[in-house]
Structure 1
Amino acid sequence: MAESLAAAIERAGSAVNLLRNAQARPTIFPVTAEFSNWRSEQQSWRTSVALLDQSHHMTDLFITGPDALRLLSDTGVNSFTNFAVDKAKQFIAVNHEGYLIGDAILFYLAENEFDLVGHQMVIDWVQFHGESGDYDVSFERDGNSIVRAGNPKLYRYELQGPHALALMERVTGAPVPDTKFFHMATFTIDDLAVRSLRHGMAGQPGFELFGPWEEGERVRNALVHHGEAFGLVLVGSKAYSSANLESAWVPSPLPAIFSGHDTDRYREWLPAASAGSLAGSLASDRIEDYYVTPYDLGYGRSVSFDHDFIGREALEEHAANAARQKVTLVWNADDVAAAQRSLLEPGVPAKYIDFPKARYGLYQVDRVLVDGKDVGISHDAGYITNEQVFASLASIENAYAQPGTEVVVVWGEEPNSSKPAVEPHRQVQIRAVVEPAPYSRFARENYRKNSGA
């Protein structure tokens, strides 16, 4: 029988010890790393049209039954008042203390039929409450291609960029109907019915296409064939993993499942293999110091107190006293270069900074300082070709969140942990400047304002 998370924590002595030294790898995208090179692939969603394969790295949880919507409403902070078939939303869940469990995309497929798609953190949480609560629901779980035997149930492709609309009209042979953001439509591609979510990534317009796995190759071939006229670029996992830096989405904040009311039952239920790994310069013994609220990550627009849900009362208090906000930190070019140069100099080098994404644990949590004082945490970090900057997404105290504020990111661990991606290194301080999130002006003005669906 698989070890439970509760047993693993007891064995390690604490949740922090377990996570900081976990042997789990950072998020893996089991698709081709680069079709050309990640720099050109990053540029494609700004200049032409990008085709990304999302079929393999995410988990699908299909939820069916007469109580499916009630389960989602009981566990999600979102409003479900006007939620209907052929709509989708960014589903967000918190624990009883109002701290973030995670988020995923929720598709309303048919009456009493939903698909929750994303990383496993919030998916595990919803499934646990559905199985342990008084709900008439059933689940079908399709894990990612790392854990699943056989092919996915669905193919899932992303088309993004200024030419995405024109390509869709060419490949379907008809004008694309005016579909609102996070609404779905059905198209015909190579005589196959294809469902599409009107979506966006890195601030660019686009479509998420999905259907039965057996039809995926024909749909992909049609997109590639017709895409030649529009400069279509196949995007691999390296570029795709960094796209969130432009749209300012933090993909894997530490889920608040390691403490709090009624989470002990959950830790007994959850396999230890689902715990993930914790990386970064924040080294507190208090697991709560790694938690964030939805407001820390800019999710306040999605919170609705029009229904009862787990954590509602606590979240109302967080809403009234939101202490942090999401920003982009643009790292100082000289300091980044100096950290990389240390690998070519005598002595213990700085922690290697990988490009285009520098995360070395599932949950990246680095200290952010002003005059030596901790003022927040830095999450995902990486290089944005379209802006020619190295940047990270961060949750910063309101007093220091104004654009232009100078801060310091502490990079590297002290002491070094035993995670597989951690080599012997020394901590360094890297200067950074606070900028808006998203950093891309196009993304701020044309994407995020619509994303509270």
Structure 2
Amino acid sequence: MSLQDNIDAAGDALALLRGNNFDVRGAFAYPAEHTNWREEQRAWTTTAVLFNQTFHMLDLYISGPDVVRLLSDTAINSFANFRAGIAKQYVAVNDEGQLIGDAIVVALSETEVNVVGREWALEWLQYVAQKGGYDVQIIAEPPTRGSGGKRFYRWELEGPAAAAILADAADGEVEHIKFFHTGKVSIAGHEVWALNHTMGGVPGQEYSGYEFFGPAEHEDDVIGAIVKAGASHGMLRGGARSYLSAGAESGWLGPCTVAAIYTQDSMREYREWLPTETWQNISVGVSTGSFHPERVEDYYVTPWDYGFGRIARFDHEFIGRAALEELAKRPPRQKVWLVWEAADTERILVESELGHGETPKPLPWPSDLGRDQILVGDRLVGVTGFHGYTVNLGGWVSLASVDTELAVDGTEVEILWGDWDGGKSNILVPEHTQTRIRARVSVASPVA
């Protein structure tokens, strides 16, 4: 049995996806909050917060002489100078230049990489490696609910105190690690990989975050040392609610992807290769929100919709290159932030919580993956993928893709807020009426 079998049984891909809608909040093996999500959000801009990232993502370990060739042949970005000590975003598209998914690739050595992310891009990598005859070996570690089964622990230390905490936790001097590079640090007598990158972001600070990983059997010693070092710096532990809300500041739309694989004849063999239980049976948020198209193709996006167009490089041959080169001349849509009008936010908050009768959809504190229509008048000009609030923003924002000509700071639009059927098919929210939220476009994170 395969994904294609599931699509055939459901009638079409859209029926399958809407029948298997997934609440992403159930994907995490650790507490929703350690203190409270507002203080955890504040910590990544004032002190530091420590997140456990070990269990909720798929890990691939790919080794062999064709590792870099496999990545280069399937990624829109260049791997020409990829080597040990470097990490890269990995973005894959189909033959038509539409997004399949993204992930993070870390070079563990000259011939082994760790690819981490959601399933969309990683399953595609496995398929191409197998069907293309690449000389590689792949070990896949699926997401778990915290029951082990992972080669590496993986934690994120985020905030302006991250460098000082690392220095205090380390056994010796810590060498400078460039952004999106890795270095090795000794903590509690164990060798630890440290990747310099950020989730939320501290504007103007290079050292705003580290991702730590190493052998699972060393986890308690290493994380214990980091927690001890962080105590004097005011570090907090972060839970799932604050972790999920970080996208409001970082702008990452990866979890919202509907991989562009469900309808093309050229993708049929891939759909037949994917097993019945694949996560490609599930797409987050396609049953909720005011955007409710009749074709699954209307959920497909290009790399520019998610902010990945800037990393495309045409210095190598890759799947989808010809189509992407044409799209690059005039991308139809661009990723933006939509900053909600405070008066509309307050109105929805009061009416949904204190009103009677027909009331708006409640605000999903602190974040939600939801596809809502973006309108100028009655004209559809884009679609949201994520709504979120952080104390650092001081208000609500949506991550969205809008028509390219509207991707200009200050452009005024409206979000049609509320599910397409008033919540009748969404057990997570009460029934409600749709309303409009005024918003303005920001092409960069408003927290900056």
Name the TM-score class by shorter chain.
Answer: over 0.9
Larger RCO (CA under 8 A, 6+ residues apart): 1
Deviation at 1:169, TM superposition (A): 1.0
CA distance in 2 between partners of 1:427 and 1:26 (Å) = 23
Deviation at 1:348, TM superposition (A): 4.5
CA distance in 2 between partners of 1:410 and 1:12 (Å) = 29
Deviation at 1:203, TM superposition (A): 1.7
Equivalent residue for 1:206?
A: 209
1:249 paired with 2:266, answer: no
The 8 Å contact of residues 59 and 114 in structure 2, kept in 1 or not, is answered as yes
Equivalent residue for 2:180?
A: 182
> Percent same amino acid among aligned pairs?
41
Gaps of 5+ in 2: 203-207
CA deviation string 1:163-201 (max 9, x = no partner): 111111111144432221111110000111001111122
Deviation at 1:408, TM superposition (A): 0.9
CA distance in 2 between partners of 1:107 and 1:403 (Å) = 34
Equivalent residue for 1:375?
A: 381
TM-score (norm 2): 0.92
CA distance in 1 between partners of 2:3 and 2:434 (Å) = 30
CA distance in 2 between partners of 1:425 and 1:269 (Å) = 41
Equivalent residue for 1:30?
A: 29
CA distance in 2 between partners of 1:272 and 1:424 (Å) = 33
The 8 Å contact of residues 352 and 362 in structure 2, kept in 1 or not, is answered as no
Deviation at 1:300, TM superposition (A): 2.1
Equivalent residue for 1:438?
A: 445
Deviation at 1:417, TM superposition (A): 6.7
1:225 paired with 2:228, answer: yes
The 8 Å contact of residues 248 and 438 in structure 1, kept in 2 or not, is answered as yes
- Structure 1 segment 275-314 matched on structure 2, within 5 A: 275-277=281-283, 278=286, 279-314=288-323
2:363 pairs with one of 348, 353, 362? 353
CA deviation string 1:298-346 (max 9, x = no partner): 2122111111111010000110111221111012233333334235433
**Relative to structure 1, is the Cα distance of residues 420 and 116 closer, same or farther in structure 2, using a 3 angstrom cutoff?**
farther
1:128 paired with 2:127, answer: yes
TM-score (norm 1): 0.91
- Structure 1 segment 43-442 matched on structure 2, within 5 A: 43-146=42-145, 150-204=148-202, 205-252=208-255, 253-273=257-277, 274=279, 275-277=281-283, 278=286, 279-340=288-349, 341-359=351-369, 364-415=370-421, 416=423, 418=425, 420-421=427-428, 423-441=430-448
**Relative to structure 1, is the Cα distance of residues 67 and 16 closer, same or farther in structure 2, using a 3 angstrom cutoff?**
same
CA deviation string 1:342-389 (max 9, x = no partner): 354333543332111122xxxx32210011111111111111211211
CA deviation string 1:367-420 (max 9, x = no partner): 100111111111111112112111111111122222222111112222357455
Equivalent residue for 1:448?
A: none
* Structure 1 residue ranges (4+ consecutive) displaced by more than 4 angstroms after TM superposition: none
The 8 Å contact of residues 248 and 439 in structure 1, kept in 2 or not, is answered as no
Equivalent residue for 1:451?
A: none
The 8 Å contact of residues 326 and 437 in structure 1, kept in 2 or not, is answered as no
Larger displacement relative to structure 2 (345-354 or 62-71): 345-354
For residue 232 of structure 2, give the secondary structure of its aligned residue in structure 1. Answer: helix
CA distance in 2 between partners of 1:272 and 1:389 (Å) = 41
**Cα RMSD for the two superposed structures:** 1.8
CA distance in 2 between partners of 1:374 and 1:420 (Å) = 27
CA distance in 1 between partners of 2:147 and 2:178 (Å) = 36
For residue 263 of structure 1, give the secondary structure of its aligned residue in structure 2. Answer: helix
Equivalent residue for 2:205?
A: none
1:101 aligned partner, one-letter code = I
**Relative to structure 1, is the Cα distance of residues 55 and 325 closer, same or farther in structure 2, using a 3 angstrom cutoff?**
same
Gaps of 5+ in 1: 442-453
